[in-house]
Amino acid sequence: MNETLSKSSRQAILGSKKIVVLLIDDQAIVGEAVKRMLAGESDITLRYCGDPSQAISIANEIAPTVILQDLVMPDVDGMTLVKFFRRNPQTKDVPLIVLSSKEEPKTKAEAFSIGANDYLVKLPDKIELIARIRHHSAGYINMLERDEAFIALQESQKALAAELAEAAAYVSSILPKKMEGDIRTDWKFVSSTSLGGDAFGYHWLDENSFAMYLLDVCGHGVGAALLSISVMEVLRSRNLPNTNFADPSSVLRRLNDEFQMEDHNQLIFTIWYGVFMKRERKIVYSSGGHPPALLISGKNSEETKLRELAVSAPMIGAFSDIEFPNGEADLEEFNRLFIFSDGAYEISRPNLPDWSLDEFEEYVFSNSKKAGFGVEAVHSEVRALHGSASLDDDFSIVDISIAF
């Protein structure tokens, strides 16, 4: 890409799309002859330079689309001038046609090796000269047009990247703060693209009810992120009429009513939604097409059992008038709940089958008793299995510990 031609010169060439020829030859008779050859070409402008020492400065001034240059001139050797043109930022890509009085293969080879684009024995036939001027100028102008389009694309991509970064920062800002105390939370969210479709949250509905949820919009990019944010805002603000947010079945039914795919660019999402009932010491939950949450519960951290918390129901937005049943899980003194998206376990492995949900569950349960085990360890494990720091899907996992 021609990054050194000045912006004003590039725009001037592209604005007029005229052919500008710079002829450098110490013989004025050659300049007059070429002038007559081009006189009838309204789209070709000729600038003659009889002093080769002025050639570079004139070229920088007029921004030629093709240079015609003699090889044998006093004071400045023609081959040396070719090298100067190629080292000069403003002319390094301008097509250069060498004019010579001799048809010598060795001279031709040397001229091409130092950057000449063409070689003509002077004076050439008028038709041939004009054809070569037009051919080389058209190629140069096309190159500048490609460069201009690429520059515009780069600027557009920079602007888009800045907007995506701002959007990603906003998505991160609405994720919940980590909690300590009787309810301890930790989480890890890594988007596979600038903007992903995962989102999650948790908050107290009242003194007795603690809501927990994680959703995964099918797809990535701006559309998926906007939908996940919209759903998150509904759940955080509890702005969904005729909804009992302490009843997961009611929440999912109303989300399904409000987010039908026909009204949201054919996008659907999965979700796991649960409510910890403090007085009743249980979790009530429902899900729509989402992986099960994993409850590790027991009298203490050493004596635990693993239980999948899931119900059978389709994804949100796929079908209308769907019921989402509730499930219930009684809690013991020690309880640890993992909520996650499928990006946490559907991991492609080099030369091995993809990691399965069963393998993921076994990994989480067998390691849950180890000191320090948590979401960071899970993320490190899946990256190691995948063989890359970048995963194919959004990675989201929430770890919630509840103690009595």
Do residue 138 and residue 205 come from a single domain? no
Do residue 84 and residue 13 come from a single domain? yes
CB-based contact 87:66 (threshold 8 Å): no
pLDDT of residue 11: 62
Domains of the chain: total: 2
For the chain, how long is the longest CA-to-CA vector? Answer: 105
Do residue 135 and residue 248 come from a single domain? no
Do residue 197 and residue 343 come from a single domain? yes
Question: Is 158 contained in some domain?
Answer: no
Domain boundary among 99, 133, 149: 149
- In Å, what is the CA distance from 189 to each residue of 81, 88, 194, 372? 60, 51, 12, 18
Q: Which domain holds residue 366?
A: 174-403
156, pLDDT greater than 90: no
* Average pLDDT rounded to a whole number, residues 85-114: 91
Give φ, ψ of 27 to 5 degrees.
Answer: -95, 110
Question: Is 162 contained in some domain?
Answer: no
Closest residue by Cα to residue 139 from 154, 113, 118, 108:
118
CB-based contact 214:340 (threshold 8 Å): yes
pLDDT of residue 162: 76
Do residue 111 and residue 224 come from a single domain? no
Burial class (CB in 10 A: 0-12, 13-18, 19+), 193: middle
Question: Is 167 contained in some domain?
Answer: no
Which one-letter DSSP state was computed for residue 397? E
What's the mean per-residue pLDDT of the chain? 90
Question: Is 253 contained in some domain?
Answer: yes
Task: Tell me the per-residue pLDDT of 186-242, one tens digit each, with 9 for 90 and over.
Answer: 999 988 776 678 899 999 999 999 999 999 998 777 788 889 889 999 999 999 999
Domain boundary among 149, 165, 186: 149
Long-range contacts of 362-370 (CB under 8 A, 24+ apart): 364/294, 364/296, 364/338, 365/294, 365/296, 365/304, 365/306, 368/296, 368/304, 368/336, 369/301, 369/302, 369/304
Q: In whole angstroms, what separates CA 204 from the centre of its chain?
A: 37
| End-to-end Cα, the chain, rounded Å | 66
Closest residue by Cα to residue 376 from 200, 216, 190:
190
pLDDT of residue 132: 93
Which one-letter DSSP state was computed for residue 122? S
Regarding predicted confidence, which is higher, 388 or 170?
A: 388
Do residue 83 and residue 47 come from a single domain? yes
